[in-house]
Chain A
Amino acid sequence: MVPPFVPFLIAALLVPALQGRARSVLVLVAPIVGALTLVGAPEGVAWQLDMLGLTLEPVRVDRLSLIFGYIFHIAAFVGGIYAWHLRDSVQASAGLLYAGSAIGAVFAGDLLTLFVFWEVMAVSSVFLIWARGTPEAIRSAQRYLVVQITSGVLLLAGALVHLEATGSIAFGHLGLDAPGGVLILLAFGIKCAFPGLHSWLTDAYPQATPTGTVFLSAFTTKAAVYTLARGYAGTELLVWIGATMAFFPIFYAVIENDLRRVLGYSLINQLGFMVTGIGIGTEMAVNGAAAHAFSHILYKALLFMSMGAVLHMTGRINGSDLGGLYRSMPRTTVLCIVGAASISAFPLFSGFISKPMVMTAALEQGYDWVWLVLLFASAGVFHHAGIKIPYFAFFAHDSGIRTTEPPVNMQIAMLVAATLCVGIGCFPELLYAHLPFATDYSPYDASHVLAQLQLLLFSALAFAWLTLSGLYPPELRSVNLDADWVYRRLGPRLVGSAREVIGTADAAVRSAAVGGLVRLGGWLARVYGPRAPAGAAWPTHRTVAITLVLLGGYILLQGG
């Protein structure tokens, strides 16, 4: 079996040598060839090598890695169509390398291979942010890179601790008690945007290029979800972390103005459902996490594509600047609404067939409070991603912006993603057949459909009431403080104050030293100066007398 990341690697190297359409074709060929290597791939370790006394398994195939492998190929393909019009070899090459390394990561059978792909993901993806070229994007990309590399360093440290203690570098179930387990969880947690470690995502994703954000939204966080499912399924701590992730970002999403940042917050909210499922750890829950990752990648890419199309065509992305675009972008509007319905888990759309698996598992395992939080988050996600995104971009007040639909390739990419969202929503068994564990779960029964419709439509009712009564907070040009404040403001401020204290102390020590030297000089001048007792010229007779005394004394002592 050819390792699935190889076609991406070759294409990434070839891209700079090609021009125009040939390059765009190659970007699409790589995921197709990669996907063909997965068809009929036997489960087990496909490639093993012994190096430096370590047993490395660069390609290990099982059902958990396969489902993530499939969706990563689909995401790379859809992203490739979306970026077809680009004439930028750096973004094309970086995108391929990024997708390839994410695929490499989910098929990595050992921690060292995982570490290598983990770092390639970080380094390749940062170019998609840099490529935007604005000063904000460049600074944001630097922060992004520091955080991502930190995650890699923690992973390597954890892997080495694990190797030292167990003699094995294999990547299987770890748990918190495994040697290095906490370090590795922290590494995964950074890329999975755990609460407090999340703000690299909402900082950097909205700064990337319109096409770059589509790639970014698919790979890093879902590769992290995969590694959590592999290493930490059933770790109860993750239930609480996941519930927090599902809960807190929706508040930020309501008051955020940049619509791609709103999607960033809702991305974390959706990751929360997956992390909760992994923490619960039953077959149903892990299936739910994997299924939700699969459908999430599609609808989140679709939503980011529709907002990317708006940004691409109007140059604007703030809710306060947009509105009324359905007049000039009706197709984009409809495709965006498909994405919105999918993330909100409307029946017949993809979210509906994956999210309830996690919620059902939560109830089955007695996590009643977690279930209530997830239900709150489900209503909230409809509110901010399902309604707010399409409403403020395409409806609301007419911003006066008149534009056209985005380039055809962008529309095709959105159409492909939308078709997949509806396809999975209508025929869930297509997805269920490929989940890590066999399942007979059926989302379509009258009770579930009715309950979900009630939840969603009454959330919409709340939106309608709040908007009509003027209670809904207006979109405002603003920055909302989040965890990145710690390293963007507090840190620099502390460093600034520390520099001040050290500077003051340093100045005091220096001036004291200089003062001491000046005083010493004065004393020396007083004692040895031309008119001082020790420095004045002596008369000859006195000098001769002293010399005699000294010489005489010396001779006497010698003689004695």
Chain B
Amino acid sequence: MHDQRIRFLDRPENVRRLLRVFYVVCLGLIAADLVYHRHVSHPLESMPGFYGVYGFVACVLLVLVAKQMRRLLMRDEHYYDRRDGGQ
């Protein structure tokens, strides 16, 4: 059961390579917006790269807000066990 093979993703340089490919694809998608005119139904959509910017900002906000929510909402994992139900 102890599989010690080194796999593709186990090498950090491969992960870095994959990430670089990913960054290039992202850039390509923004570049595509400058060349190709998407037909739009909302004025915001006509901004080049709108979807990319919106997706990026949304996710950063999502994570940072969720992180702050922990201050308010997070309890230890046995929070409900202590006096929960007929114990």
Binding site for A on B (CB under 8 A): 1-3, 5, 7, 9, 19, 22-23, 25-26, 29-30, 32-33, 36, 38-42, 45, 49-60, 62-67, 69-70, 72-81, 83-85
Binding site for B on A (CB under 8 A): 136, 139, 142, 250-252, 254-255, 326-328, 360, 363-364, 368, 371, 375-376, 379-380, 383, 395, 402-404, 445-447, 450-466, 471-473, 476-482, 488-489, 492
Q: Are B32 and A450 in contact (CB under 8 A)?
A: yes
**Contact with B67, one of A255, A364, A379, A463 (Cβ below 8 angstroms):** A255
**Contact with A402, one of B2, B19, B39 (Cβ below 8 angstroms):** B2
Q: For residue B70, which residues in chain A have a CB less than 8 angstroms away from its CB?
A: 255, 473, 476, 478, 480
CB closest chain-B residue, reference A496? B83
Q: How far is the CB of A205 from chain B (nearest CB, A)?
A: 16
CB closest chain-A residue, reference B30? A454
Q: Are B73 and A480 in contact (CB under 8 A)?
A: yes
Q: List 11 A-B contacts (CB under 8 A).
A: A376-B58, A379-B55, A445-B39, A447-B38, A457-B25, A458-B52, A458-B54, A466-B60, A471-B67, A477-B76, A478-B77
Q: Are A477 and B33 in contact (CB under 8 A)?
A: no
CB closest chain-A residue, reference B41? A363
Bound-state CA distance A456–B26 (Å) is 10
Beyond A402-B3, A465-B60, 12 additional contacts (C-beta under 8 Å) are: A252-B69, A255-B67, A255-B74, A326-B9, A363-B42, A368-B42, A457-B22, A457-B29, A458-B29, A458-B55, A479-B79, A481-B75
Q: Are B42 and A371 in contact (CB under 8 A)?
A: yes
Q: Given A454-B49, A471-B63, do A375 and B9 touch, yes or no (CB 8 Å)?
A: no
Q: Are A250 and B84 in contact (CB under 8 A)?
A: no
**Contact with B38, one of A250, A451, A459 (Cβ below 8 angstroms):** A451
Q: Are A453 and B29 in contact (CB under 8 A)?
A: yes
Bound-state CA distance A445–B74 (Å) is 44
Q: For residue A142, which residues in chain B have a CB less than 8 angstroms away from its CB?
A: 85
**Contact with B51, one of A327, A452, A464 (Cβ below 8 angstroms):** A452
Q: Given A457-B26, A477-B77, do A254 and B56 touch, yes or no (CB 8 Å)?
A: no
Q: Are B62 and A380 in contact (CB under 8 A)?
A: yes
Q: Are B56 and A462 in contact (CB under 8 A)?
A: yes
Q: For residue B45, which residues in chain A have a CB less than 8 angstroms away from its CB?
A: 451
Q: For residue A480, which residues in chain B have a CB less than 8 angstroms away from its CB?
A: 69-70, 73-75
Bound-state CA distance A392–B22 (Å) is 20
Q: Are A458 and B26 in contact (CB under 8 A)?
A: yes
Q: For residue B63, which residues in chain A have a CB less than 8 angstroms away from its CB?
A: 254, 383, 462, 466, 471-473
Q: For residue A472, which residues in chain B have a CB less than 8 angstroms away from its CB?
A: 63
Q: For residue A327, which residues in chain B have a CB less than 8 angstroms away from its CB?
A: 3, 5, 7
CB closest chain-A residue, reference B65? A251
Bound-state CA distance A371–B54 (Å) is 12
Q: Are B75 and A479 in contact (CB under 8 A)?
A: yes
CB closest chain-B residue, reference A456? B55
Q: Are B59 and A450 in contact (CB under 8 A)?
A: no
Bound-state CA distance A376–B36 (Å) is 24
Bound-state CA distance A338–B30 (Å) is 25
Q: For residue A254, which residues in chain B have a CB less than 8 angstroms away from its CB?
A: 62-63, 66-67
Interface centre among B58, B64, B74 (most CB of A within 10 A): B58
Q: Are B40 and A478 in contact (CB under 8 A)?
A: no
Q: For residue B65, which residues in chain A have a CB less than 8 angstroms away from its CB?
A: 251
Q: Are B54 and A375 in contact (CB under 8 A)?
A: yes
Bound-state CA distance A383–B2 (Å) is 32
Q: Are A457 and B52 in contact (CB under 8 A)?
A: yes
Bound-state CA distance A463–B45 (Å) is 23
Q: For residue B73, which residues in chain A have a CB less than 8 angstroms away from its CB?
A: 255, 480-482
Bound-state CA distance A138–B59 (Å) is 36
Q: For residue B39, which residues in chain A have a CB less than 8 angstroms away from its CB?
A: 445, 447
